[in-house]
Chains A and B, each alone.
Chain A
């Protein structure tokens, strides 16, 4: 191509005589500034990694290990035996036994002649359906 020959006529330039020295000076300068920067970066990344670990640990503790309503908590609250063999089975049945004393209430209503007392069968052994 004609342009190929023409472009060869463009004047070629060379690097200035002190080019190498300038490059090496700049290299030395950059090396001295980059070293502390690299150290700072390392410290920053270490701090970041530690923070991420702590946050991860907290999240696992809050949302996974301490989750309310898990089997472990139920069995702990109900005071059931958590032995390895039957703890899982027992933890699924929660028995709440609340002793009630009606004697005071009945005594208070004794003056009222129209009062009708319904006596319920209360058992602390087995659950029984109440029949009227």
Chain B
């Protein structure tokens, strides 16, 4: 039974078909959301929410494009909303950190020079505007046309964002290797000026 058929069964309220879809996509969606958010537990929560929307918004699904694109669109939208919320809450937590610094209770971890760690930091520092298409292209392996469908932007915009995102990542990694100021660069990336 293919995905379209499974989805038409889900539209009729078939929970077994829905369980099959969850089984087929759970690892891909959790990994995708983990690469986007950088936190495993958050990625798992968002994945659950993604599948809930797949079930309850099943009637909105039209089999014109690939089913996976539709699932990724839901996941990407949820992640974007979550990242926006987190950016707002980070402002609060930085104040807390400042208080901790003044109180002398904050100790910075020794910087991890591992490649994966640097890559993770580089991705996290990238604005979601660029992070999403870069991950969809370079981690998930989608074509630019499919990414355009997922993020609902023209192909030209997708190409530009991927190119710019990759350039930012490269610059971040180069500077991280040469030992320049990582946080300042991250801030620069966050503002999309790098």
Asked if B48 and A22 make an inter-chain contact with CB atoms under 8 angstroms apart, the answer reads: yes
Asked if B43 and A13 make an inter-chain contact with CB atoms under 8 angstroms apart, the answer reads: yes
Chain A's nearest CB lies how many Å from the CB of B27? Answer: 5
Asked if A3 and B166 make an inter-chain contact with CB atoms under 8 angstroms apart, the answer reads: yes
Q: Which of B35, B44, B55 contacts A16 (CB 8 A)?
A: B44
Asked if A11 and B116 make an inter-chain contact with CB atoms under 8 angstroms apart, the answer reads: yes
- B side interface size, CB within 8 A: 35
Query: B145 to chain A: which residues have CB within 8 Å?
Result: none
Binds B, one of A24-32, A51-59, A84-92: A24-32
Query: B115 to chain A: which residues have CB within 8 Å?
Result: 6, 9
Q: Is A115 an interface residue (CB 8 A)?
A: no
Interface of chain A: mostly helix, strand, loop or mixed: helix
Q: Which of B26, B35, B48, B55 contacts A10 (CB 8 A)?
A: B35
CA distance A13 to B39 in the complex (A): 11
Asked if A30 and B52 make an inter-chain contact with CB atoms under 8 angstroms apart, the answer reads: yes
CA distance A8 to B52 in the complex (A): 29
Interface size class of A (residues with CB under 8 A): 20 to 34
Chain A's nearest CB lies how many Å from the CB of B181? Answer: 21
Using CB atoms, name the residue of chain B closest to A19: B26
Using CB atoms, name the residue of chain B closest to A4: B138
Q: Is B186 an interface residue (CB 8 A)?
A: no
Using CB atoms, name the residue of chain A closest to B29: A15
CA distance A105 to B60 in the complex (A): 89
Using CB atoms, name the residue of chain A closest to B28: A15
Q: Is A14 an interface residue (CB 8 A)?
A: yes
Chain A's nearest CB lies how many Å from the CB of B78? Answer: 14
Query: B44 to chain A: which residues have CB within 8 Å?
Result: 15-16, 19
Query: A34 to chain B: which residues have CB within 8 Å?
Result: 56
Going nearest first, the 3 A-B pairs with the smallest beta carbon separation are A15-B26, A7-B138, A15-B30
Please give the residue numbers on chain A whose beta carbons come within 8 Å of chain B beta carbons, in ascending order.
1-4, 6-16, 19-20, 22-24, 26-27, 30, 34
Q: List 11 A-B contacts (CB under 8 A).
A: A3-B134, A9-B119, A10-B123, A10-B139, A14-B27, A15-B47, A19-B47, A23-B22, A23-B51, A24-B19, A24-B22
